Amino acid sequence: MLYLSTRNNKISKKPSEAVLEGIAKDGGLYMPKSFENASFPMDDLSKMSNKDISAEVISILFAGDEMISDEKGEAAGAYKLVSNAYDGKFENEDYAPLSKVGNAYVMELYHGPTCAFKDVALQLLPQLISAAKKSTGMKDEIVILTATSGDTGSAALSGFSNVDGVKIIVFYPRNGISAVQERQMVSVDGKNTCVCSVGGNFDDAQSGVKNIFANLKLPEGVVLSSANSINIGRLAPQVAYYFKAYRDLMQNGEIKMGDKVNFVVPTGNFGDILAGYFAKKMGLPVGQLVCASNTNNVLTDFFENGVYNKNRSFFITKSPSMDILISSNLERLLYLVCGAEKCSEYMKDLKEKGEYKLSKEELEIIRKEFDAGFCDDKETLETVASVYNKHGYLMDTHTAVAWNVYEKWARKCDNGYKTVVLSTASPYKFSSSVMNALGQKYESEFDAVNKLYEYTGAKIPASLVNIERKPIVHKVTVEKDEMMDFVDKMVNKKVWMD
């Protein structure tokens, strides 16, 4: 398997090289050269364990690379990496259980160490990077540079903390994430970690990181990489849980092999739903992929009219991890639809004009695969309450966005297939918003965690118990135009934060 830049097909890398680089030198994202030989063995799916599925996905997407080599074969090598990543890291072996709620299933992706879906990928990415370094003979120190809208940061810090030969710098929008999310990050005490708040929103932080990748002059012996889903090593592991959900539905007797399944995904950066599209390209019988957005509904507008326009108001919402106006992974979908040359033109238009417009033919191709919808904060909180009161099921605000969009979509165009709604975070990560939705009182966001337990009896994840007592280790803050100088000081002048 070879990986090409979304902006230039002449930039070609082995999987290990793509994982180590994170982002191509021209600013493009790495994509498989082709999915023609990337078929998942669906006939074996019903007999596969969770780790079998993950290993199979990795061995397919990274086929032919020494990163996953093993004397017993690539599948065995991938299985070792998966085992090292997942064993003992999740609440139980079923890292993404399905819960029946009304007429749909909710796939709970928040049972990892930081209570968010990104744990599934960010426990495995360090294993992939370490294996890639070994297989390529790289001796350089890797500095992971990541912007987060709330969940990627804590998951990446959990995965990379104290990993040899790697340092990690995480930027997050000041006042743009929940207090629980912030405390998860700033309390990490790994010697190789740095957490820094940025004056601005997530798009400002993400743009700053991309600018650093493109323009920072690095000293000899240091390379940059990313833990965001712009890194194919972060995106690939997420493909597995779509196959896992399908297997679980078969085992539950809800579907038989070959039946199509819909997936509704709350997303801001478009990575999680793109993983579902990868699964479909690899042979998973997917009916419709429904993109769920909050009030920052740039993706909904794009899927409706083919115009991506970031020149709009930015809203801080009750689902902050989705407060994004520049959805980086959409570039990968554009590449699949229109090729590298046109994709590069669209990205140039987005940077220079703040928008681009697809042709009618390109939009028609995309709309055959995706649908989209959004809901505002009022609807989000109403959904948290209505689902809890009607079904006794407690969900966070991001999952509520997806559930609200699912209900609207199902009324509009029910295709008769079973539907899985992805739940991306524990309700305890956004306890104050959930308590507001349920009409309950609390004194602070941390108090809301305990009051939510008292009211619902839903188990508090172990990593969030008494989280307010965890000492703050990282207190650094910069403005968005200071990010380059900050990283330059860290990597060139070797002034790492104490």
133 is catalytic: no
Q: Compute the distance between CA of residue 34 and CA of residue 221 in angstroms, rounded to an integer.
A: 33
Catalytic position from the list 118, 133, 280, 318: 118
Q: Compute the distance between CA of residue 287 and CA of residue 415 in angstroms, rounded to an integer.
A: 8
Residue type, 243: F
Answer whether 81's CB lies under 8 Å from 61's CB: no
Q: Compute the distance between CA of residue 148 and CA of residue 297 in angstroms, rounded to an integer.
A: 19
- Output the 3-class SS for 30-76: EEECCCCCCCCCHHHHHHCCHHHHHHHHHHHHCCCCHHHCCCCCHHH
What are the φ and ψ backbone dihedral angles of 172, each rounded to 5 degrees?
A: -135, 150
Q: Is 306 left (phi over 0), alpha (psi -120 to 50) or beta?
A: left
CA distances in angstroms from 138 to 142, 145, 488, 495, listed in the order given: 10, 18, 22, 23
DSSP character for 413? H
Answer whether 449's CB lies under 8 Å from 460's CB: yes
- Let me know how many helices (H) and strands (E) the chain has, helices first: 18, 16
Answer whether 225's CB lies under 8 Å from 144's CB: yes
Which residues are CB-neighbours of 141 under 8 A, at least 6 positions away?
A: 165, 166, 167, 221, 222, 223
Query: What angle, 0 to 180 degrees and rounded to 10, lies between the N-to-C axes of helices 377-391 and 397-413?
Result: 90
Q: Which residues are designated catalytic?
A: 118
